[in-house]
Chains A and B, each alone.
Chain A
Amino acid sequence: MMIATDAPAGLGPLTATRNEARDDENALIEAVRRGVPGSREAIYHRYKRRVFALSTRIVGAGDAEEVAQEAFIRIFRGLDRFRGDSALGTWIYRLAVNAALSHRSRRPPPTDSLDDREHHTILDTSGADLGPVHGDAALRKRLERGLAALPVGYRTVVVLHDVEGLEHEEIAQVLGCHVGTSKSQLHKARARLREILAADGITVRDLGIRTSEAAR
């Protein structure tokens, strides 16, 4: 059986694309259940970057790999019980977020130095002092630093919606909350992030220039 290992087209806006992605996912899940060699690895390669990125942004780079591993072990242990009520990607995000949040609850960062610790573990912030932003890489560092300074609940919603591109319905499934809660948390988080970025010297001009470059 041929198993595609490239990135899925799931979570996109088109229903047809979603249906194709869902069929593809179902075939992959079925392959894992039947023990087709390489099928678990195919799922791993398909989702590894998203799970690892989510873990990195929730717990920091130092613990991200441990959390991502834990998430994948939970995913493969639970795949037999996956009923398909949500898309595979959404379910995987849920397990990844749960693994990251339970890791944080087991090892809470010291509250007095939360920002410093996370700034230095999520990103290499060497040289990222307050000052003008030069280049996309520098802007991304500052954005990551801003994200890291958000409270974890806000950060999770912003990462899922604005970085990973999930819809509120999917976020509600991932976090086990109402759609309205996801929306209200997102807008509070965006407002807070705007303040953090402004305090870090990121201006609307920086963001505008970079995003228009990215769009070209």
Chain B
Amino acid sequence: MIRHPSAEQISAYIARDVSSRDAAVLTVHLSDCAECTSVADELRNQVAALGTLESPEPSPTMWAAIDGALERDAANAGGRYDSPFARIRQSWRSLCVGVAAGAALVTALMFVAKPSPHVAVSDEVSREDSARAFAKAVDDPLLAEAENELARATSAYERAASRLRVLLEKEQIRWDSGQRDQVARRLAGLDEAVARSRAVAQRDPADGAGAEMLFAAYQKQIDFLAEAVHQGTNASDEAWR
């Protein structure tokens, strides 16, 4: 009876992972055995076919999740991590400094423009002076830069949220109506928080706390959207709260 080599031995043979002595024996056997030649062909084709498998693409939110984790790492270690989100926050800090500087300038100009006791001026004149001082302050390049930073930061957050909403809509097609309602309710709450914080920040732009509150609201909204897109229907209860 002919003793055929195993598929494992044939695989090693075609990969040249056998000794020259074994290779010689197998060459002779294969030249005369259609069954083993067929096994060798199958293995060769199998390897070639595996080489054509494609690599799936991860979701577009994966980097944001990794970036967030690295940022938290750096914050816990008391270090600094230059993430895009951190850069947005830095813009907010610049804005607060700029707005505070602008407000200080307005106050200083108002103080300088304050009428001396021996000059009779009406309240209207005083208000006009203040308005002029404010207008002058608005012309201040530092304040203008701060305003631009605000616009850029706001627009960056809104763009990110908008992109995530598009992804979420695609993801939600597979959800049941209960899950969609749950997410919609949570998002409505977060949207409202953003709107309220924006109103506070706009009411008193010099108040850094208002800007920080708005930033926190945006961040919460984006974190939730990213989590909802990323986790889909597998999102933990924690994420939905």
Residues of A whose CB lies within 8 Å of any CB of B are: 35, 37, 40-41, 44-45, 48-50, 52-53, 56, 61-62, 64-65, 68-69, 72-73, 76-77, 136, 139-140, 143-144, 147, 158, 162-163, 165, 183-184, 186-188, 190-191, 193-195, 197-198, 204, 207-208, 210-211, 214-215
Contact = CB atoms under 8 A, between A and B. Distances in A.
A140 B46 contact: no
A143 B62 contact: no
Nearest to A158: B50
Interface in B38-76: 38-39, 41-43, 45-59, 62-63, 65-67, 69-70, 73
Q: Is the interface of B mostly helix, strand, loop or mixed?
A: helix
Contacts of A45: 63
A20 B107 CA distance: 61
Given A143-B53, A162-B51, 6 more contacts: A49-B57, A52-B57, A73-B70, A186-B11, A211-B52, A214-B48
B75 to A, nearest CB: 14
A183 B56 contact: no
Nearest to A214: B52
Instruction: Please provide the 4 A-B residue pairs with the shortest distance between their CB atoms, ordered closest to farther.
Output: A207-B45, A191-B7, A53-B55, A211-B48
B4 to A, nearest CB: 13
Given A77-B73, A191-B6, A52 B55 contact: yes
Nearest to B7: A191
A40 B57 CA distance: 18
Contacts of B58: 48-49, 52, 64-65, 68
A144 B8 CA distance: 21
B82 interface: yes
- Size category of the B interface is 35 or more
A158 to B, nearest CB: 7
B219 to A, nearest CB: 19
B145 interface: no
Q: Is the interface of A mostly helix, strand, loop or mixed?
A: helix
Interface of B: 6-9, 11-12, 15, 17, 38-39, 41-43, 45-59, 62-63, 65-67, 69-70, 73, 82, 87, 230, 234
Contact of B66 (A44, A53, A188): A44
A85 B49 CA distance: 32
Nearest to A210: B49
A143 B49 contact: yes
A190 B47 contact: yes
B54 A65 contact: no
A56 B53 CA distance: 13
B12 to A, nearest CB: 5
A61 B148 CA distance: 43
Contacts of B69: 69, 73
A35 B63 CA distance: 17
Given A190-B11, A204-B41, A207-B42, A50 B55 contact: yes
A191 B5 CA distance: 12
A205 to B, nearest CB: 9
